[in-house]
Amino acid sequence: MFGNLQKNQRKSLAASVALVAGVSAAAFAFNPLSAVAADHPNLVISAADIDAMQGAIEQPGRFRNAFLTTQSAVDRALEAPIAVPQPADAGGGYTHEQHKKNYQLMYNAGVLYQITQDAKYAERVRDILLAYADMYPTLPLHPKRRPGAENPGKLFWQSLNEAVWLVYTIQAYDLIRPALSDSEAQKIEQGALRPVAKFLSVDSPKTFNKVHNHGTWLTAGVGMAGYVLDEPEWVEQALLDLDKSGKGGFLRQLSTLFSPDGYYNEGPYYQRYALMPFVTFAKAIENNEPERGIFDYRDGIVMKAIDTTIQLSYNNLFFPINDAIKSKGIDTSELVLGVTIAYGESGNPQLLDIAARQDQILLTGDGLKVAQALDAGAQQPYEFKSFAFRDGKDGDEGALVVLRQQVNGDQALVFKPAAQGMGHGHFDKLSWQFYDRGAEIVTDYGAARFLNVEAKNGGRYLEENETWAKQTVAHNTVVVDETSHFDNNLQVANRNHPELLFFHADDQVKISAAEIDSAYPGITLKRTLALVNNPDNGSTFAIDVFDVESRNKHQLDLPVHYNGQLVDTNFKLQGYTDSLRALGKENGYQHLWLKASAKPATGLAQVTWLNDNGRFYTQSSLVDGNTELLFTELGANDPNFNLRAEKSFIARRDNVDKHTFISVLEPHGEYNPSKEFTLKAESQVSALSHQRTGDLELIAIGGKNGTTQLLAYNRNSDVDDSVNNRFEFDGSEYSFNGRAKLFQIKN
């Protein structure tokens, strides 16, 4: 591979990379490095790793167990004959799945060859590669490519899968290269590896140069092939665009696709997918050219991206914002690789906590480090934090805000003043979700999709992903006039974003505010969400203040999507009991059955539900006598039963140009039919009030126990701890410093 710079040169180069990239990736150019005869392997796994791994499988422990499991699976797979079929099927079909199986088997067999030096593993990889070398040069574009698509593949219907094939296969080749004769290597390189690399780079310039997750897979595959095949030019192109301008390429992708906080624009579900080529290629770069300081690039963006992916999870599952399959979590293979490599780089024992939950040991050098550290019991609890993860490449396009506390249950409030997140983004500006005791309480539908279930639109996104899941009313945020944010126009949505006004977290109060004036013309939406707890009695509340200001009068809907069974309301419901109609005609409303409605009197409107874990939740809202509450169930206009029958109640205020929705959500009590007891099934909230005086906002939650909890906060976006705030409440004077404080007032 390439010659190494001296150690002392490394830091300065890394610094210059970071500096230059920070200004303009286009202005950055590597010095071309001369090629030398390659050591194998040296991508994610290095030759030095192999020595340690060979030693480790002789010792009992997690690494040996993982080795034995993989060996047994591969040995079983070797019993089947080689199959390298002529490409014919789209995703899910036989040839598609077989080519996927091939690269996975080749990779695993390659690893086993290095560890065991048993020739049978190398021979199988060799034979499969020779078959590819025979076939690939003859292949036309894939018959199932999308008509007119710019990213067709040959082995697969799209080039994305072809790049994934290359990322695995080049590693497999690297692992077994020592077992090949030069003529075998020649045939495989000329017949398969070089043609695939060429097809994915110079023959697919648009996708290769695209600053997009697909581009990352292509550049990773081609760049890694460059290291293995001694083609430094490919590495340069992979890093800097085919024309080496820096306008595209891996570094540009690292500079653009993640925010400075390591947040990926599409949200955690796609972040964990996008991570794979980033960490794989980064590790290969580090092993081949440590002088590039790739893990230091952009202030350590690769490591931040891995860590942020973990942070954006709750009870091991990712927050399901945007198009997300809700059962995806931190044990996905991509994040296993990410955590393993991050631990190898950092040695951070908190990452071992995540690795322990993942319970998957990789057969790599870093995997060995993880296994040995877990065997030694070195893990420390991973700290999930309250944080505003800034969005946008420069961190100025809103944020995804997470408020957390461990009081009377592990609670998380997710607030989404984030940017749109491209085609997989939802029209849900300023939406929120709430989690408690391991469960999703105020919910997000996620994506409407049954992944790989043929009967459900071939396993692709369902039509209802557009007609329901992306629509604003499918989320917990304000809908104006039954139309979605940006009128469902993705281009407009991508050009606009909310502004994060403030974020603050202390022991008792976590609070954040944001606003957006572009979701609807002439309308400003501003929301403040807080998670507070009273240390005296362990009570907790999520507090929501949603201001809408408009030039004209509109209908405003604010849904709460919840999981569970409605238990009680403190107002009379008008049920639609023997016939149901859809609530509206379009923008998601056509999918909602209206099951009941109510118009509570002025004051406190309370809705209590019970979730499957036996916990009660009461939403107490301050209403003005003109707010309707609509109780809905999802499933109208869904002839194929594609939607889950989820529930919501919608606060509707019609004909207003200025309105503030104020509510508090209170977890309480326990329903335990197994042990035959029920505790605190009723809300403890007896009153709610809201005052604004100058920059200060006061939310007073009156309790049945005679104590009022008063949240006071300064809504000015520039507030630091030196600011002293004074106010009068109920005849008494109060003061606090900084952003916010929760007061307990005995009546």
Give, for 735, the enclosing helix (H) or strand (E): strand 732-737
Least Cβ distance, residue 161 to a second copy (angstroms) = 13
Stretch in the footprint of a second copy (CB under 8 A) among 300-308, 349-357, 421-429, 633-641: 633-641
**Between 97 and 243, whose beta carbon lies closer to a second copy?**
97
244 Rama class: left (phi>0) / alpha (psi -120 to 50) / beta: left
647 within 8 A of 562, measured Cβ to Cβ: yes
Tell me: cis bond preceding 60? Omega within 30 of 0 counts: no
**Between 227 and 616, whose beta carbon lies closer to a second copy?**
616
**Between 636 and 651, whose beta carbon lies closer to a second copy?**
636
* 297 is known as an active-site residue: no
Q: Which of 107, 113, 132, 270 is catalytic?
A: 270
Interaction between residue 705 and a second copy (CB under 8 A): no
**Helix axes 94-116 and 47-56, enclosed angle (nearest 10):** 80
**Between 202 and 453, whose beta carbon lies closer to a second copy?**
453
Stretch in the footprint of a second copy (CB under 8 A) among 146-154, 282-290, 511-519, 631-639: 631-639
- Which of 165, 671, 713, 736 is close enough to bind a second copy by CB under 8 A? 671
Question: Which of these, 66, 74, 68, lies nearest to 369 by C-alpha position?
Answer: 66
638 within 8 A of 591, measured Cβ to Cβ: yes
Interactions with a second copy, residue window 135-194 (CB under 8 A) = none
Angle at alpha carbon of residue 711, lines to 707 and 715, rounded to 5°: 165
Least Cβ distance, residue 720 to a second copy (angstroms) = 43
CA distance 680 to 685: 12
**Between 117 and 327, whose beta carbon lies closer to a second copy?**
327
- Which of 6, 8, 674, 747 is close enough to bind a second copy by CB under 8 A? 674
- Which of 357, 437, 456, 460 is close enough to bind a second copy by CB under 8 A? 456
Least Cβ distance, residue 311 to a second copy (angstroms) = 19
Stretch in the footprint of a second copy (CB under 8 A) among 61-69, 283-291, 449-457, 728-736: 449-457
Least Cβ distance, residue 327 to a second copy (angstroms) = 5
Stretch in the footprint of a second copy (CB under 8 A) among 31-39, 388-396, 588-596, 695-703: 588-596
Binding mask 91-120 for a second copy (x = CB under 8 A): -x----------------------------
CA distance 261 to 311: 11
Question: Which of these, 658, 634, 415, lies nearest to 542 by C-alpha position?
Answer: 415
Give, for 295, the enclosing helix (H) or strand (E): none
Two structure tokens written together for 427: 């029209």
Residue type, 619: Q
Two structure tokens written together for 3: 């010659």
* 435 is known as an active-site residue: no
**Helix or strand or coil: residue 328?**
coil
Interaction between residue 686 and a second copy (CB under 8 A): no
Stretch in the footprint of a second copy (CB under 8 A) among 159-167, 210-218, 465-473, 593-601: 593-601
Collect all residues with Cβ–Cβ distance below 8 Å to 705 and sequence separation of at least 6: 537, 684
Question: Which of these, 716, 736, 717, 718, lies nearest to 726 by C-alpha position?
Answer: 736
Least Cβ distance, residue 314 to a second copy (angstroms) = 15
Interactions with a second copy, residue window 284-303 (CB under 8 A) = none
Interaction between residue 494 and a second copy (CB under 8 A): no
CA distance 3 to 488: 52
**Between 61 and 458, whose beta carbon lies closer to a second copy?**
458
**Helix axes 333-346 and 349-358, enclosed angle (nearest 10):** 160
Interaction between residue 673 and a second copy (CB under 8 A): yes
Two structure tokens written together for 727: 């106010």
C-alpha gyration radius of the chain: 28
CA distance 497 to 365: 42
Interactions with a second copy, residue window 555-584 (CB under 8 A) = 565-568, 573, 575, 577-582
Least Cβ distance, residue 255 to a second copy (angstroms) = 29
589 within 8 A of 582, measured Cβ to Cβ: yes
**Between 536 and 676, whose beta carbon lies closer to a second copy?**
676
**Helix or strand or coil: residue 220?**
helix
Stretch in the footprint of a second copy (CB under 8 A) among 14-22, 254-262, 454-462, 701-709: 454-462
Q: Which of 424, 475, 497, 554 is catalytic?
A: 424
Binding mask 57-96 for a second copy (x = CB under 8 A): -----------------------------------x----
Give, for 235, the enclosing helix (H) or strand (E): helix 232-240
Q: Do strands 603-610 and 616-623 pair parallel, antiparallel, or not at all (unpaired)?
A: antiparallel
Collect all residues with Cβ–Cβ distance below 8 Å to 281 and sequence separation of at least 6: 216, 219, 220, 223, 224, 238, 250
**Between 263 and 671, whose beta carbon lies closer to a second copy?**
671
**Between 288 and 632, whose beta carbon lies closer to a second copy?**
632
CA distance 177 to 292: 25
**Between 385 and 581, whose beta carbon lies closer to a second copy?**
581
734 within 8 A of 694, measured Cβ to Cβ: no
Angle at alpha carbon of residue 397, lines to 392 and 398, rounded to 5°: 120
Interactions with a second copy, residue window 320-339 (CB under 8 A) = 325-329, 331-333
Interaction between residue 375 and a second copy (CB under 8 A): no
Interaction between residue 457 and a second copy (CB under 8 A): no
Angle at alpha carbon of residue 95, lines to 92 and 99, rounded to 5°: 95
Least Cβ distance, residue 217 to a second copy (angstroms) = 16
Q: With contacts defined by CB under 8 A, how many residues of the chain interact with a second copy?
A: 55
Please count the CA atoms within 13 angstroms of the CA of 125 that sit on its side-chain side.
31
Interaction between residue 670 and a second copy (CB under 8 A): no
**Between 439 and 681, whose beta carbon lies closer to a second copy?**
681
For residue 128, which phi and psi values (nearest 5 degrees)?
-65, -45
Interaction between residue 439 and a second copy (CB under 8 A): no
Active site residues: 270, 424
User: Site residues (CB under 8 A) for a second copy?
Assistant: 92, 325-329, 331-333, 450-456, 459, 565-568, 573, 575, 577-582, 590, 593, 595-596, 608, 610, 631, 633, 635-641, 644-645, 671, 673-678, 681-682
